[in-house]
Amino acid sequence: MRRKPIRYYSTNLKSPEVGFSEALLRGLAPDGGLYLPASLPLISPRELASFPCKEYHEIAYRILHKIIGNEIDKEELSRLCAEAYNFDVPLEKVYDRKYIMRLDQGPTASFKDFAARMMSRLMQYYLSLNNQHLTVLTATSGDTGSAVANAFYGLKNIRAIILFPANEVTLMQRKQMTTLQNNINVIAIDGKFDDCQRLVKMAFLDHALSGIPLTSANSINIGRLLPQSVYYFYAYSKLAANVDEKAIFSVPSGNFGNLMGGLIAKKIGLPVKQFIISTNANNEVPEFLNTGSYKIIDPSKNCISSAMNVGHPSNLARIIAFYGGVMDESGSIIKPPDLNQMREDLFAVSVTDEETRNTIDDVYKKYNLLLEPHGAIAWKGIKEYSRINKNTMPGKLLCISLETAHPAKFPEELRQILNIEPPMPVSLAGLEQKPEHYFSLENSYGLLKDFILKYYK
């Protein structure tokens, strides 16, 4: 039976629904909202029961095929999954049935590889069908840029321009972007991350550039979201005793794309008891769940888990929509979501820098496991959950904590806390010797515009 293709609606409810490829290539809906699937298929318990013996890329294919359906050739999707997911996804036991899932074995040692590698390949697939070309323009404070640069590197129909604040990224982050070349142009902006973002936004609104198809490829793209459902299925299928068991996942959250991937997984049939939302001191979402009132944190607080320093998460509008509400870009709640249902599904924890450091120390000394600040916050979330639910929580409850970056990306922090040198993953080794190529521009939109017109006309 041929299934009707899934349509995608905008969270602002003011744009028409579109098909998958249009939502993917557009990124943002014309009304400024974010795309979400209007309906979702179900993975049956029987199908779920067939996952334990499958490899990661096979599970990715099953899930994505279910969602994208006939809008992509089956064999092609299967090939893209095998190509994108050619690295390990370790599941490490901490104690009892408490596990850490390491999402840090991709080419840039960040969990963002999972989303970026699939999104880039899906875009390339649809562009090549019609011989179209696209330029990805994106601003980065470090990690997104390297994952995006790496994911788009070498693709035929896509070029990428990545802006980074000249003095705000680490040497390693910079080298992950600037040693690639080919279809990847990297520009150091003499300014801050916010300046880079402002320049990107101006370019998107500039009619003089309308002849150059631009997209942002940032975490609001639906093509980044869907692949982030897969690792929840993967971990579950490898660790659950049977498909009746319900699991707890702890998700270190900043822009809440990762959590959104989890919510989609649950909706299409993954047995999840609760998600633990673990944040740093930027606790606007835990506060919202507590009080029902949402207050942006501006400017966001600087914590050592730097990828989670977000005071107004871009994916929150999607979460609100998932629970029947409407939130606009400014963070105003137009229609309240079902808070009771949200509280049933989500358990929120906010973790201080001191607790983060103590957790890294504790986990290393007790279990000989190395965590970096983001993964430590997720683990602390499980500790808090266990403490608060200790009377009702059976010891056998399956809990999975997500580690989102490789510890080697935070050598100074780990040196200070543990007095050790984290081992370098193969993907990052040798970076120091590679030559760099990048442009430098003053913080001026006119200069960026000239650059784009000169290189991309």
Residues that bind ligand PLP (CB under 6 A): 110, 112, 143, 219, 252-258, 307-308, 374, 404-405
Contact present, 262 and 87 (Cβ < 8 Å)? no
Shortest Cβ 313–ligand PLP spacing (Å): 7
Task: State the angle between helix axes of 373-388 and 353-367 in degrees (0 to 180), rounded to the nearest 10.
Answer: 90
Task: State the angle between helix axes of 257-267 and 230-239 in degrees (0 to 180), rounded to the nearest 10.
Answer: 60
Q: Smallest Cα–Cα separation from 92: which of 403, 307, 432?
A: 403
Measured in degrees and rounded to the nearest 5, phi and psi for residue 380 equal -60, -35
Query: For residues 97 and 175, which CB has a smaller minimum distance to ligand PLP in the complex?
Result: 175
Contact present, 12 and 332 (Cβ < 8 Å)? no
What's the CA gap between 333 and 324, in Å, rounded?
A: 11
Element spanning 141, H or E: none
Shortest Cβ 25–ligand PLP spacing (Å): 21
CA 427 to the chain's CA centroid: 19
What's the CA gap between 275 and 278, in Å, rounded?
A: 9
State whether the Cα torsion 297-299-302-308 is positive or negative.
positive
Shortest Cβ 310–ligand PLP spacing (Å): 7
Query: For residues 15 and 142, which CB has a smaller minimum distance to ligand PLP in the complex?
Result: 142
Per DSSP, the residues of 67-81 read HHGGGS-HHHHHHHH
Shortest Cβ 433–ligand PLP spacing (Å): 25
Query: For residues 124 and 258, which CB has a smaller minimum distance to ligand PLP in the complex?
Result: 258
Query: For residues 254 and 331, which CB has a smaller minimum distance to ligand PLP in the complex?
Result: 254
Shortest Cβ 131–ligand PLP spacing (Å): 33
Contact present, 320 and 327 (Cβ < 8 Å)? yes
Shortest Cβ 228–ligand PLP spacing (Å): 7
Shortest Cβ 281–ligand PLP spacing (Å): 14
Contact present, 350 and 279 (Cβ < 8 Å)? yes
Cis, peptide link before residue 299, omega less than 30° from 0: yes
Query: For residues 237 and 258, which CB has a smaller minimum distance to ligand PLP in the complex?
Result: 258
Which alpha helices (DSSP H) does 214-350 contain, by range? 222-225, 230-239, 257-267, 284-291, 316-322, 339-345
At position 307, the amino acid (one-letter code) is A
Shortest Cβ 308–ligand PLP spacing (Å): 5
Query: For residues 97 and 406, which CB has a smaller minimum distance to ligand PLP in the complex?
Result: 406
Query: For residues 15 and 305, which CB has a smaller minimum distance to ligand PLP in the complex?
Result: 305
With b for 16 or more beta-carbon neighbours within 10 A and e for fewer, the 61-72 pattern comes to: bbbbbbbbbeeb
Query: For residues 254 and 337, which CB has a smaller minimum distance to ligand PLP in the complex?
Result: 254
| Site of tokens 């074995």 | 105
Query: For residues 78 and 253, which CB has a smaller minimum distance to ligand PLP in the complex?
Result: 253
Shortest Cβ 116–ligand PLP spacing (Å): 11
Shortest Cβ 403–ligand PLP spacing (Å): 9
Shortest Cβ 405–ligand PLP spacing (Å): 4
What's the CA gap between 449 and 446, in Å, rounded?
A: 5
Shortest Cβ 73–ligand PLP spacing (Å): 29
Residues 362-369: contacts with CB under 8 Å, at least 24 apart: 363/94, 364/418, 367/94, 367/95, 369/92, 369/94, 369/100
